[in-house]
Structure 1
Amino acid sequence: MSSTPLPAGLLDRAALAVGPGTAPAVAEELAALTGRPVLGYDAEGRITGAEGGAPDAPLVLVGATLPPALRGDPRVRWFHSVNAGVDALLDGGWPAGVLLTRTVGRMGERIGQYALAWVLADCQGVPGHLARTAARAWRREPSELAGGQTALVYGTGHIGTAVASALGAAGLHTVGVGRAEHAPDGPFDERITAGEDGPWLGRARFVVDALPLTDATRDFFADARLSALRGATFLNVGRGATVSLPALGRALAAGHVRGAVLDVLTDEPPAPGHPVWELPRTTLTSHSAGITAGTDITADFRACWEALRAGQAPELAVRVGRGY
C-alpha cells in the first residue's frame, strides 16, 4: 500500500475503544498517545464508557476479537489487533473499508530465542539427560554441534527472519522458504520457494515452521513433506493448522522426524484425550514462544497512529486478500 487507507482528519474525530481483557496500563498509554479518553467494548460489541461522548464518531478499536455486532457497524474504521496472527479475524471475511493492523512488537526476538533454545537443547541431548536424571541413570552421551547444520525455515516474513538471525548466530546454515516476491536480503544463507524445497528436505537437520495460516498453507506439512525428512527435528512456531497432526504422528513413528516441538495447535488447549498428547518424542509449549507484552501493543499502535497522522500507510497494515 502506498497511500493512507483512512480519510484525512478522521483520526481527529475518532473515538478509541479497547476490547475485553485489555490491561489498564495499555489503556492509559493509548489515552496519553491519542489525547482522548479510552472507551471499551465488550464481547457483545457494546461500546462502554461513552456517556456524553459522540455516538456517531468514527471508531478506532484495539483488541483481540471483533464481535459480530461491530463487524457491521459503519462507525468502525480501524481495528488494531493485539496479536500478530489475524487468521481468526479474517475467517468469514473482513468488513470492507475497515483498516486492519496488527501487533508484532518484539515477538520475532522472542520466537528466535525460543527456536535457538530448542535447537541447542536438541544438540546437547537435553531431553535424554532429563529422562536419565528422572530414572537415576548415569550415562555419558556425546553432544552434537549446531554449527554447520542445515535449518529450513518456512516463512520469510518478520518471524521467520528473526528465527534465521538467531540460528545463523549459532552457525547454522539457514535456508528460507517463502514467496518468490520476497526480497532476497536478510539473514538467510539461501532463499527458495516452496516448490523448490524437495532436495532440501532430506538434508535438513532442523525444520522450523513459521508460516501464517492461509488457504495455501493449511496442512502444508502433510505426508508428502514430512515423509521426505531424514531424521530432522521439527518446530512449529507459526500456526497450528499448517501441520497435519496425523501425518506428523506417522513421520515420528517412521523415524522421518526425530522429534517435534509444537508451540501452536489447531485446537488450543487440546482436550485431555487429544491425540497430540500421545505423539512420541514431542514437546508442547502451550503457545508461549512469543507472548505479546503490553509494550508491544502500545509501541506498534503508536507506529500505526503516527503513520496515519502523516498520511502514510502503516507498515503493520494487513493485506486482507493475502491473509497477513
Structure 2
Amino acid sequence: MIAPALLDRARIVAGPEVGEAAVRGLAAATGRPVERGPVEGPFVYVGASLPDAVRGADLVWFHSVNAGTDALLRSGTWPDGVPLTRTVGRMGERIAQYVLGWVLAECQSVPEFAAQHARAEWRRIDSELVAGQTAVVHGIGRIGSAVATLLGACGIRTVAAARTPRPVPPGFDAVVPADEPVAARWVVAALPLTGATTGYFGADRFAAMGGATFLNVGRGATVDLGALEGALRSGAVGRAVLDVLADEPAVPGDACWRLPRTVVTSHSAGITADEDIVTDFAACLRELSAGRVPALTVDTGRGY
C-alpha cells in the first residue's frame, strides 16, 4: 500500500495514449498538473503501457486507461509494490448494450432482412421473442454481470458459467460449472486473458454449444479460431459475433473474414471514453489516499 504522504507529493505523468481532453480532466479532478514523459522523484503514471523509462523505483502507482491489463502483465514481471489499477467506467453498460443489440437483431432477423433488401426481395420472416430464452455467460465479473443484468431485464434467463464453485452472482438466475453443458440460445464470452483462459474456447467447448450463437466481448486469444470455424461449419455454433481477435487489427486476408455466419467488429463494444479515465482514476486516488485498496485494483498474480 502506498503511504498517503508519498502519494500526496507524487507527480502525475500521462502516457502518449492519454489524449489532451483526458489530461485536462485529470488535472481538474486532482488539482495537480499532469506532465508528459519521465520525471524525477515519486510519480504516478496513467497510460496503456509501461515503458522501460518509467519502470524505476520512483514509480509509485500505475493506472491503466484500459480495462484489460493482460498486455501490461505479459512479461510476467510487474514492479514489486506498485499498485496496478484499471479503467472500467461505463464499459459494462456499453458492452451489455452491444450484446443485447446483436441478440435483438438475431431475433428480429435483421441480417436476413438486410440481405433481402439488397436483392429487392419481399418475403415475410417470422420474428422471435427473446423472453424465456437462455444465455450462458463465461466471465462473470463487472462486464459479465452487466451483460446478464440487461439481458435479464428483457426476460432472458441468464446462467453464469463459473470455473470455481460460487453462489449465484449478481444479475444472474443460476450458476453452473464452466464445463457443464447448458441448452442455450446465446453463449457470451467476457473472459479476461490469463494463462488459464488462453484457448479456453476450443473444439470440445464449441461442440457442446448445440447450435447457440457465440459472442466474444472478452479477449480474442481465449478463442481457438480454427475450432470455431469447424464448429460453425458443423452447426455446433449457429452464428458468431466477434468483437475481439487474438491479432488486431485484422488485415483483409485474415481468416476471420471467411468464417461462415460470422460478423467481426473492430474491438468497439466497450470503447473507453475520456471521462471514464478521469472518473476511475480520481476514485482510485481517493481510495489510495485514504489507505484503502481500490475496487479497480488488478491482482497482478491472477492477471485481473
What is the TM-score with the length of structure 2 in the denominator? 0.97
Which deviates more from structure 2 when the two are superposed, residues 24-33 or residues 111-120?
24-33
Q: 2: CA distance between counterparts of 1:303 and 1:287?
A: 26
1:39-98 deviation digits (Å, cap 9, x = unpaired): 112xxxxx2xx6xxxx2x211000111112323x11111110000000000001211111
Aligned counterpart in structure 1 of residue 152 of structure 2, from 168, 192, 210: 168
Aligned counterpart in structure 2 of residue 208 of structure 1, from 167, 188, 202: 188
Moved over 6 A (4+): none
The alignment-based identity, stated in percent, is: 56
SS across alignment from 2:136 = strand
Aligned counterpart in structure 1 of residue 122 of structure 2, from 130, 138, 144: 138
Q: 2: CA distance between counterparts of 1:230 and 1:139?
A: 28
In the TM superposition, 1:126-205 aligns within 5 A as 126-180=110-164, 184-195=168-179, 197-198=180-181, 200=182, 203-205=183-185
Aligned residues: 303
Q: 1: CA distance between counterparts of 2:250 and 2:121?
A: 32
Q: Which residue is 1:318 aligned to?
A: 298
RMSD of the alignment, in Å?
A: 1.2
Q: 1:181: Cα distance to partner? A: 5.8
Q: Which residue is 2:73 aligned to?
A: 90
Aligned counterpart in structure 1 of residue 19 of structure 2, from 20, 23, 31: 23
Q: 1:30: Cα distance to partner? A: 1.3
In the TM superposition, 1:1-324 aligns within 5 A as 5-41=1-37, 47=38, 55=40, 57-71=41-55, 73-93=56-76, 94-180=78-164, 184-195=168-179, 197-198=180-181, 200=182, 203-324=183-304
Gap runs ≥5 in structure 1 = 42-46
Q: 2: CA distance between counterparts of 1:10 and 1:35?
A: 16
- Sort the Cα spacing of 1:21 and 1:8 in 2 relative to 1 into closer, same or farther, 3 A: closer
Q: 1: CA distance between counterparts of 2:15 and 2:167?
A: 36
1:16-51 deviation digits (Å, cap 9, x = unpaired): 00010322221112112322211112xxxxx2xx6x
Contact 1:156 1:182 in 2 (8 A): no
Gap runs ≥5 in structure 2 = none
Q: 1:142: Cα distance to partner? A: 0.5
The code of the aligned residue for 1:74 comes to A
Contact 1:152 1:204 in 2 (8 A): yes
The code of the aligned residue for 1:17 comes to V
Q: 2: CA distance between counterparts of 1:279 and 1:187?
A: 32
What is the TM-score with the length of structure 1 in the denominator? 0.91
SS across alignment from 2:54 = helix
1:141-190 deviation digits (Å, cap 9, x = unpaired): 11121111110000110000000011101111100112436553411000
SS across alignment from 2:144 = helix
Contact 2:42 2:59 in 1 (8 A): yes
Q: 2: CA distance between counterparts of 1:150 and 1:37?
A: 50
Contact 1:180 1:192 in 2 (8 A): no
The code of the aligned residue for 1:233 comes to T
